[in-house]
Structure 1
Amino acid sequence: MFNVKQILIRAFYQEKKSMKLWFKLLGLLALVASISVAQAKNEPAPAFTLSDIYSGKKVSLSDYAGKVVYVDFWASWCGPCRKSFPAMEEIYQANKAKGFEVITVNLDDNAGLGKEFLKSFKVSFTNLYDDKKQTPSAYQVATMPSSFLIDKKGKIRLRHQGYKKSDKAKLDQAIKILLSE
């Protein structure tokens, strides 16, 4: 792959007076950085066992072996998280019969905040609570929401941070690809 840093330095010194070029190259660098964050390297998804937010029943990622799994980390105070839940439910309903699962992991200080948040939505997928807050570090969660699409072999194939409406179509397409593998 090309060395972005060398290209930027060379372009800057060759075109000192051309600020347009400089800004274009900075934009390119930002794009390359965002793509590297969004794409995973097919590493194994870290295992976890957490409690269902309602029943307290222990649920493990390994319970979903052989399925495509979307793991979403969220908190009740997160605005984009609120927008993502209806989309997750739609995608779940459209794909669950094909071997697709959604697992959300609430990271609030207490499960009551997560339960109150969930009252606003009619979701049928699995909602877990991480009382020890160890799972986010295993997944290197940096912002809310942070999502991970895991293939049938247990490898992370997509990492995603934040949520906007256009993400739903991209996610749906990625899920369809993984379900067909």
Structure 2
Amino acid sequence: MSACRSRRTGRRRLVLFAAGAAAASLTLSACGEGTSGGSAQTRFVQGKNGIATVPKADRQPAPELSAETTTGTKKLSLADFKGKVIVVNVWGSWCGPCSAEAPNFAQVANETKSKGVQFLGINTRDTDKTPAVSFEEEHKIPYPSLYDPEGKLMLRFPKGSLNPQSVPSTLAIDRHGKIAARSLGPLTAADLHKMIDPLIAEK
């Protein structure tokens, strides 16, 4: 084999290896990765359960989030729930892990509603509202979701904050409108309580 042919074969193998590595990294993610960037300066503590939390003094304000809901044309805003602990869940009807965690979200939303907790979904990458509404009906979701087919709301989270970076992602926002916790991936009911209960207890 000539030296040139040997070099070409080596380059082809390198390209195939790189492509395989990229495919593997995508497989390791949940349903899909968002385009929100993180920051090495984020002052969060990563828990063993995969839930990252921020000390109260270091929390950043949540951005303004406003859009039509999946079930209507009237706009709903994060600011509508000022003074409450807010749980924001990014999901899609096409996402298997989202479907798996949905009953847990419905359960905990009902359990914590009387304690001043408001759940709010962000439906993304569903190009039509119909499958999103069917998903909510199937899983008996008791709270509204903002319709965000292009993922624009995910981009509003500030750089260096606990921002949503995959589908599903879940954020917990304290009563002062600041981002307190985040999980990337599906959650159990127990996980949700670990995120929410400390914020309910805060003064």
**TM-score band w.r.t. shorter chain:** 0.7 to 0.9
Shift of 1:109: 2.0
TM-score between the two structures when normalised by the length of structure 2: 0.66
**Match for 2:138 among 100, 105, 120?**
120
Distance 1:32 1:152, change over 3 A: closer
Deviations 1:18-40 (A, max 9, x none): xxxxxxxxxxxxx9698898234
Deviates most, 124-133 or 154-163: 124-133
**One-letter code of the match for 1:161?**
L
**Which residue identity lines up with residue 53 of structure 2 in the other structure?**
Q
For 2:49 and 2:142, the matched residues in 1 are separated by 31
| Aligned counterpart, 2:195 | 174
Deviation at 1:122, TM superposition (A): 1.0
Whole-Å Cα distance in 1 between the matches of residues 150 and 73 of structure 2? 14
Structure 1 segments unaligned to the other structure (5+ residues): 1-30
Is it true that 1:129 corresponds to 2:147 in the alignment? yes
Alignment of 1:62-73 (within 5 A): 62-73=79-90
Matches within 5 A, 1:97-108: 97-107=114-124, 108=126
Residues 89-142 of structure 1: per-residue CA shift (max 9 Å, x gap): 111111101100100010122222212222311121112211453101223432
Aligned-pair Cα RMSD in Å? 2.3
Structure 2: gaps spanning 5 or more residues: 1-44, 158-162
Amino acid corresponding to residue 146 of structure 1 in structure 2: S
Distance in 2 between residues matched to 1:164 and 1:177, nearest whole Å: 17
Equivalent position of 2:167 in the other structure: 144
The number of residue pairs the alignment matches comes to 149
Answer yes or no: is the 8 Å Cα contact 2:106–2:139 preserved in 1.
no
If the length of structure 1 is used for normalisation, what is the TM-score? 0.74
Q: Percent identity over the alignment?
A: 30
